[in-house]
């Protein structure tokens, strides 16, 4: 898990084109990361893709529905909550067990270890990540708003 700002281009694509364009940018980003780094960890790349999609879809959807700074803020808050909760559930049920099998981490097969990892690590991390990316993106959006609105009129 790491905080990066690679969701920002996907958010911009979601605002200019559509939420699905944001998903495509998220997919391209993760595919390039996987190919360039030769990541031996496809589980982490897949988890990063899912987290990014869960974060950008609400922001893109709400922006296209209501067009404004309030819709971006609402979308980022909604996306943060959805990402944090969904990734917690996915980590508990799927991702951590796959990691345990893939990396040979026997301790992570224990329910108490999974629960602790989710409640003390994954859930707070994703809430903080969404907050930080949102705090960066809202001022950026305010500066780029005119440009984004001009570009979106050509494509929508």
Answer yes or no: is pLDDT of 63 > 80.
yes
Check which CATH number belongs to the domain holding 47 and give it. 1.10.1760.20
Residue 96 lies in a domain: yes
Predicted pLDDT of residue 102: 77
- Domain extent at residue 83: 7-147
Average pLDDT over residues 93-101: 87
pLDDT of the residue at 104: 78
- Is 24 contained in some domain? yes
The residue behind tokens 């390039």 is: 32
Q: pLDDT at position 41, please? A: 77
pLDDT in tens, 107-147: 777 888 889 999 999 999 999 999 999 999 999 988 888 88
Q: What is the mean pLDDT of the chain?
A: 89
Q: Is position 2 within any domain?
A: no
* Residue 9 confidence (pLDDT): 93
Please give the pLDDT value at position 127: 97
Strand runs labelled E in 31-116: none
Report if residue 81 sits inside a domain: yes
Residue 127 lies inside a defined structural domain of this protein: yes
8 Å CB contact between 49 and 33: no
Residue 152 within any structural domain of the chain? no
In a domain, 134, yes or no: yes
- Percent above pLDDT 70 for the chain: 96
**What is the pLDDT, as a whole number, of residue 153?**
59
User: Average pLDDT for residues 80-109, to the nearest whole number?
Assistant: 88
Q: How many structural domains does the chain have?
A: 1
Among residues 80, 81, 71, the alpha carbon closest in space to that of 138 is found at: 71
| The overall pTM is greater than 0.75 | yes
Asked if residue 126 is part of any domain, the answer here is yes
**Three-state secondary structure of the chain:** CCCCCCHHHHHHHHHHCCHHHHHHHHHHHHHHHHHHHCCCCHHHHHHHHHHHHHHHHHHHHHHHHHCCHHHHHHHHHHHHHHHHHHHHHHHHHHHHHHHHHHHCCHHHHCHHHHHHHHHHHHHHHHHHHHHHHHHHHHHHHHHHHHHHHHHHHHHC
Q: 21 with 13: CB under 8 angstroms? A: yes
Whether pLDDT at 5 is above 70: yes
């Amino acid at each position: 898990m790491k905080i990066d700002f690679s969701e920002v281009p996907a958010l911009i694509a979601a605002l200019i084109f559509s939420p699905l364009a944001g998903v495509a940018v998220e997919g391209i980003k993760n595919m390039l990361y996987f190919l360039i780094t030769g990541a031996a960890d496809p589980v982490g790349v897949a988890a990063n893709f899912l987290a990014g999609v869960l974060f950008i879809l609400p922001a893109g959807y709400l922006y296209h529905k209501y067009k404004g700074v309030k819709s971006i803020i609402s979308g980022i808050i909604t996306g943060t909550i959805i990402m944090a909760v969904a990734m917690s559930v996915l980590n508990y049920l799927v991702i951590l067990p796959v990691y345990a099998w893939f990396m040979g981490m026997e301790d992570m097969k224990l329910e108490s270890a999974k629960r602790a990892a989710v409640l003390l690590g994954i859930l707070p991390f994703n809430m903080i990540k969404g907050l930080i990316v949102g705090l960066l993106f809202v001022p950026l959006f305010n500066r780029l708003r005119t440009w984004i609105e001009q570009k979106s009129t050509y494509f929508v």
